[in-house]
Structure 1
Amino acid sequence: MADDRPILFFDSGVGGLSVVAPTRALLPQAGIVYAADSAGFPYGTKSETEIAARVPALLGRLVERYRPRLVVIACNTASTIALPAVRAALDLPVVGTVPAIKPAAETSVTRTIGVLGTEATVRQPYVDDLAARFAGDCTVLRHGSAALVELAEAALAGDPPSHDRVAAELAGLFGQPGGQRIDVIVNACTHFPLLVREMATVTPAGVRFVDGGPGIARRIAHLTEGQDWPNLPPVHRLVFTRLDARERRIAAGLAAQGFDLPESL
């Protein structure tokens, strides 16, 4: 019999959809459960203690309800803080999300890299370790932006941001000493690839953006290689921990991508 277990993606909001898209491209037969912790959004301004307690508890409930074959924490902040605890608590594969500093360093010509994430992510020792291991000969400038997360959420709810607001946030990177030498920006928040077109219009010519989505998709494909999938078209479910008007607007926009009516956890 075909195995109809889905892949469960988890984020504080809709940013993890930037990881879902390359995964669906590689595994079009896979059913998706996308869970957004809208009641806890945003994670980037919360304490490590709050996130470390909240994420494993929510994922335990989601796994019990949806019985996935694999869990993807499609959130840099949650991954850098709670990934070890989630892996210890769940008896199934868990894929995390980490800033794509290694590929950025491999391609930077100026040897100056920008890391754009949430405030909680950019201050993590894990980012220090990635920079030391893979970008030791680079200047790595960081900027945490809660506003860009909100702008990405609003855009998916039908309210696209102005270029001026996006430019003001990117100024936090380019305005730092040496910022004019940045030639690669790591989108260290899964929300930010959803704004990459807007960001590209307000950055200097030649600056490129990288994120971990394609690499995560390849990791999921590897971990599920050889597994059975349903013979019928896959079912894609959308779950929110708080289901209000904003979440319903987001769900309406995602209906065209094959997601069912939203559910509440």
Structure 2
Amino acid sequence: MLDATTPPDAPVLFFDSGVGGLTILGPAKALMSHIPVVYAADSAGFPYGTKPDSEIAARVPALLGRLVERYRPRIAVIACNTAATIALSHVRAALDIPVVGTVPAIKPAAIASRTRVIGVLGTDATVRQPYVDRLTAEHGADCTVLRHGSAALVAYVEARLRGAPADPSVPADALAGLLDQPGGDRMDMVVLACTHFPLVQDELEAAAPRPITFLDGAAGIARRIAYLNGDAPWPQTAPEGIAVFTRVDAEVEKLAPALARFGLTQIRAL
């Protein structure tokens, strides 16, 4: 845990391949209203879910190393399930600050499920990870755990936040990837194992043929940040947030209104 010697203006760094990490940032800001924020998106490497694991394992620690050197954060948050399930241990080994990873909320889903059938909706890379196998074995051994990866839903969310046209059938198609599997008719919990997906949870709920509970781990991540911060002071007033992109282009500029809703009023290039 941090202590009172931490500079008040030392930010918390949130890292994702795109804008999905905003769903982790939102609850963190709600819990810690004066939190200074640097939000980093690897726009040059987006999307992560279709890339080889080896590329993610090398790319993420290198980028976070550069970001930590430039912005001197107090805590780093990997606000991306794909990056965390592949590269969390590598990042922790490379950095000398606390690192929080975002991983699929299989444990609370297993605790809450009545039918013992759980869906995990993420990227292709996340749902195939041994990390997810371990979470399933540890917390959902008595459950049927269905998995489906949807790169199309990730792209859909990014397009929606840019104000670009997006096929409205994409959320329903992504959910059908779970419902159409054997046992899908009994599924009562869906773990949103990509931080992009809570941004369209209402559309997923609308596409469900019956009441289904959708879960993510954002609230737990916020509590973890607060715990690790310990006695470290926050600024007296909430500073303007910084959004950093590995490539700034016209598509990134279109995200400015969405970023501003999360207090990210400055856009910079890494």
TM-score after normalising by structure 2: 0.95
TM-score after normalising by structure 1: 0.97
Q: Check conservation: 2:172, 2:207, Cα contact below 8 A.
A: yes
Q: Secondary structure at the match of 1:143?
A: strand
The percentage of counterpart residues that share the same residue type is 62
Query: How many Å separate the matches in 1 of 2:153 and 2:254?
Result: 19
Which runs of structure 2 are paired with 1:65-214 in the superposition (5 Å)?
Answer: 65-159=70-164, 161-214=166-219
Q: Secondary structure at the match of 2:27?
A: helix
For residue 47 of structure 1, the aligned residue among 47, 52, 58 is 52
- Most deviating of 172-181 and 151-160: 151-160
Instruction: Give, in angstroms, the shift of residue 204 of structure 1.
Output: 2.2
Q: Give the equivalent residue in structure 1 for 2:236.
A: 231
Query: How many Å separate the matches in 1 of 2:152 and 2:55?
Result: 20
Q: Deviations over 1:52-111 (max 9, x none)?
A: 110000000000110000000000111111111110110100000110000001111111
Regions of 4+ moved over 6 Å: none
Q: Deviations over 1:160-213 (max 9, x none)?
A: 644422111211111111111111000001011111011110012220100011
Q: Deviations over 1:126-177 (max 9, x none)?
A: 1011111101111000001101110111111113644422111211111111
Structure 2: which 5+ residue stretches go unaligned?
none
Q: Letter of the 2:197 partner, please give it.
A: F
Q: Secondary structure at the match of 2:90?
A: helix
Query: How many Å separate the matches in 2 of 1:257 and 1:116?
Result: 25
Query: How many Å separate the matches in 1 of 2:185 and 2:260?
Result: 41
Query: How many Å separate the matches in 2 of 1:238 and 1:15?
Result: 13
Q: Check conservation: 2:121, 2:147, Cα contact below 8 A.
A: yes
Q: Secondary structure at the match of 1:98?
A: coil
Q: Letter of the 1:131 partner, please give it.
A: T
Q: Check conservation: 1:163, 1:202, Cα contact below 8 A.
A: no
Q: Check conservation: 2:104, 2:191, Cα contact below 8 A.
A: yes
Q: Secondary structure at the match of 1:231?
A: coil
Q: Letter of the 1:152 partner, please give it.
A: V
- Most deviating of 28-37 and 155-164: 155-164
Q: Check conservation: 1:10, 1:36, Cα contact below 8 A.
A: yes
Q: Secondary structure at the match of 1:262?
A: strand
Q: Give the equivalent residue in structure 1 for 2:65.
A: 60
What is the CA RMSD across the aligned residues, in angstroms? 1.3
